[in-house]
Amino acid sequence: MELNYEFMVRTFGLLLQAIPVTLKLTAVTLLLATPFAFLLALARIYAVPYAAKFASAYISVMRGIPMVLQILLVYSLLPSLLNYLFKQAGIAYNIFDLDTIWYAYIIFTFSEIAVLSEVFRSALGSVGDGQIEAGLSVGMNRRTIYWRILIPQALVTALPSLCNVTVTLIKNTSLAFMMAVQDITATGKIAASYGYNYVEAYLDVFLVYIIVCSLVQIAFRISEKHLGRFRHTSQISG
Amino acid sequence: MRPFEPQLIPQYFAEVFPYLSVTLGVTVSVIFFGSLLGGLIAWGKISGGRVIRSLATGYTYILRCTPSIVLLFLVFYGLPKFFLEAFDYDINGLSRAVFVIISFTLLYAASSSEVMRAAYLSVNHGQYEAAVSIGLSPVTALRRIVLPQAAVVALPNFGNSVLNLMKEGSLAYTIGLVDLLGEGNLIISRQYGGSALEVYIAVGLVYLGLALLITRSVLLLEQKLLPQKTRPERGRT
């Protein structure tokens, strides 16, 4: 197939410059979603009245609605709603000046809360109850037990799933082009339509995503090895 | 700001609902072709030689890193160009559904091959040996002993991949397929962008219903098949 290689090389360079945007979208979303996801997970583990019900309803709704639809829904509603509210409240700020990446953060965070809470729930459940009892027996309070005993161990168990979640999120952020965020896909799309070099541009985008996802997976594998050291030592001594 | 009119939602719901058949048609075709290709890849990973195994693993790895939208665009723009230059044959006139089915088959094959491989490996190899030792042919042993047990293990993951496929399939509107979301967008553009919220809520309700249906039926099926799975363990104790 006849491909414009010179264009491909040039676009590849442009796409590399867009990697930080994709990574920023991913990282900020994960950071924003984590505390809420943790609370939802706790609500379900301890079967907190109402909160547990809300958590499972929230998770199944988020699991059932396609990401594109969530984006279309929020992106068609939120800016004008905020504009209306700001006008009512007499705030002079023009909401349409706001960087659209904020809408992307909000939408991805809402769906990631549901995904992460399931990961946290199963990871926290994987640490034996005996550990909590042991902690209580030496006089720790629950918060210390969580911070010092439970979470560090659960985090290591959760790392493979977190890797999966992160890779899926990186792929999902490719939809941010719908909100005019200049990530990898959006940059490729613009380059493609410039000279109708669609195939070349999307091949580049395809390659860049493989590189990014590979690097993320390698990073997770290294941290798993590093943080999971205690497992091996305990196996040897035990 | 235009007022929100929830009373319009049922009307839009009725308008988009018939297009469920398009979404379902695409989903079912992808499950069919994707399972065939996925089975082939899983087989390559389990019992292929070194070259086939690394090809199969490489395929899964690469597809796992590819956003659906990127593959969709690549297939949509790349395939006609490839056919035109390689065989001098114009496939631009083909239905959009064909491109959607091809892209998602490629993606679904990768995830379903992993589901199948894990399920196959979860069945103890001794089961197969025992079946062959009492005189079943290898094919019968696979068909009657290993696969039924593997199917039960695969069920929850299968349900998950189908759910994901159905959701990702909504991206098809970006290349102009008129499915649930495609029709929703058409309705909105016919009204010059009006009622967007109501239409999207209606479309969302259809998807939500579909998702609940899939989740429920997988759970039911699992419960139906589970007693068979636990019976020998009960006998042992």
CATH of the domain at B209: 1.10.3720.10
Whether B1 is covered by a domain: the verdict is no
Which pLDDT band, with edges at 50, 70 and 90, does B62 fall under? Answer: very high
Higher pLDDT: B83 or A186? It is: A186
What value does the mean pLDDT take over residues B90-101?
A: 84
Amino acid at B178: V
pLDDT number for residue A53: 93
Whether B140 is covered by a domain: the verdict is yes
pLDDT surpasses 80 at A231: no
* Weakest mean pLDDT among A78-87, A112-121, A154-163, A181-190: A78-87
Tell me the H-state helices in chain A. Answer: 5-45, 51-64, 67-89, 101-126, 129-137, 142-144, 151-172, 184-195, 198-227, 229-237
Query: What's the half-sphere exposure (Cβ side, CA atoms, 13 Å) at B147?
Result: 9
Phi, psi of A35 (to 5 degrees): -60, -40
Cα-based angle B11, B17, B19 (whole degrees, multiple of 5) = 130
Per-residue tokens: B39: 């089975």
pLDDT number for residue B237: 41
pLDDT number for residue A237: 45
What value does the mean pLDDT take over residues A135-140?
A: 90
Whether B70 is covered by a domain: the verdict is yes
pLDDT number for residue A167: 94
Q: Using CB atoms within 10 A of its CB, is residue A161 exposed (0-12), middle (13-18) or buried (19+)?
A: middle
Query: What's the half-sphere exposure (Cβ side, CA atoms, 13 Å) at B207?
Result: 30
Amino acid at B180: L
Nearest Cα of chain A lies from the Cα of B85 at a distance, in angstroms, of 6
- Test B70 with A198 for CB contact under 8 angstroms: no
Share of residues in chain B with pLDDT > 90 (%): 48
pLDDT surpasses 60 at B182: yes
What value does the mean pLDDT take over residues A50-55?
A: 93
Whether B236 is covered by a domain: the verdict is no
What is chain A's alpha carbon radius of gyration, rounded to the nearest angstrom? 22
Please state which CATH number belongs to domain A5-237: 1.10.3720.10
Nearest Cα of chain A lies from the Cα of B49 at a distance, in angstroms, of 25
Q: What does the alpha-carbon distance between residue A163 and residue A159 come to, in Å, rounded to a whole number?
A: 6
pLDDT number for residue B236: 43
Which pLDDT band, with edges at 50, 70 and 90, does A234 fall under? Answer: low
Q: Which residue of B has its CA nearest to A202?
A: B74
- To the question of pTM greater than 0.90 for the whole model, the response is no
| Nearest CB to B77; choose among A81, A199, A210 | A199
Residue A62 makes CB contacts below 8 A (sequence gap 6+) with: A110, A111, A113, A114, A115
Share of residues in chain A with pLDDT > 70 (%): 96
Looking at the predicted complex, does its ipTM rise above 0.90? no
- Angstrom CA distances, B68 to A76, A192, A223, stand at 23, 17, 28
Share of residues in chain A with pLDDT > 90 (%): 48
| Nearest CB to A174; choose among B67, B166, B197 | B67
What value does the mean pLDDT take over residues A119-124?
A: 91
Whether B196 is covered by a domain: the verdict is yes
> What is the DSSP secondary structure assignment for residue B2, as one 8-state letter?
P
pLDDT surpasses 60 at B14: yes
Per the structure, the count of domains in chain B is 1
pLDDT surpasses 90 at A6: no
Closest Cα partner for A154 from A122, A129, A130?
A122
Whether B74 is covered by a domain: the verdict is yes
**Model confidence pLDDT, tens digit, residues B200-222:** 999 999 999 999 999 999 989 88
Q: Which domain holds residue B150?
A: 6-231
Q: What does the alpha-carbon distance between residue A36 and residue B74 come to, in Å, rounded to a whole number?
A: 36
Please tell me if residue B216 touches chain A, with a CB cutoff of 8 Å. no
Dihedral class, residue B130 (left if φ above 0, else alpha if ψ from -120 to 50, else beta) = alpha
Q: What does the alpha-carbon distance between residue A134 and residue A150 come to, in Å, rounded to a whole number?
A: 11
Whether B108 is covered by a domain: the verdict is yes
- Test B64 with A172 for CB contact under 8 angstroms: no
- Contact between residue B178 and residue B95 where contact means Cβ atoms under 8 Å apart: no
Whether B237 is covered by a domain: the verdict is no
Please tell me if residue A62 touches chain B, with a CB cutoff of 8 Å. no
pLDDT number for residue A1: 66
* Weakest mean pLDDT among A191-195, B87-91, B164-168: B87-91
**Model confidence pLDDT, tens digit, residues A28-44:** 999 999 999 999 999 99
Neighbour count for residue A53 (Cβ, 10 Å) = 13
- Contact between residue A208 and residue A19 where contact means Cβ atoms under 8 Å apart: yes
What value does the mean pLDDT take over residues B17-39?
A: 93
| Nearest CB to A175; choose among B69, B82, B200 | B69
Share of residues in chain B with pLDDT > 70 (%): 95
Amino acid at B234: R
Place of tokens 């759910």: B163
What value does the mean pLDDT take over residues A17-32?
A: 94
Q: Please provide the size of chain A in residues.
A: 238
pLDDT number for residue B1: 59
Element (H, E) at B209: helix B196-236
Please tell me if residue A193 touches chain B, with a CB cutoff of 8 Å. no
Domain boundary assignment for chain A: 5-237
> What is the DSSP secondary structure assignment for residue B123, as one 8-state letter?
S
Q: Which residue of A has its CA nearest to B75?
A: A199
Which pLDDT band, with edges at 50, 70 and 90, does B4 fall under? Answer: confident
Q: What does the alpha-carbon distance between residue B197 and residue B162 come to, in Å, rounded to a whole number?
A: 27
- Contact between residue B67 and residue A202 where contact means Cβ atoms under 8 Å apart: no
Taking each helix axis from N to C terminus, what angle separates B147-168 and A51-64, rounded to the nearest 10 degrees?
80
Mean model confidence pLDDT for chain B: 87
Which pLDDT band, with edges at 50, 70 and 90, does A119 fall under? Answer: very high
**Model confidence pLDDT, tens digit, residues A66-117:** 999 999 988 888 888 888 888 888 887 777 778 889 999 999 999 999 999 9
What value does the mean pLDDT take over residues A51-71?
A: 92
Dihedral class, residue A4 (left if φ above 0, else alpha if ψ from -120 to 50, else beta) = beta
Which pLDDT band, with edges at 50, 70 and 90, does B232 fall under? Answer: low
What value does the mean pLDDT take over residues B88-103?
A: 84
Q: Which of residues 42-81 of B touch A (CB under 8 A)?
A: 62, 64-71, 73-74, 77-78, 81
Mean model confidence pLDDT for chain A: 88
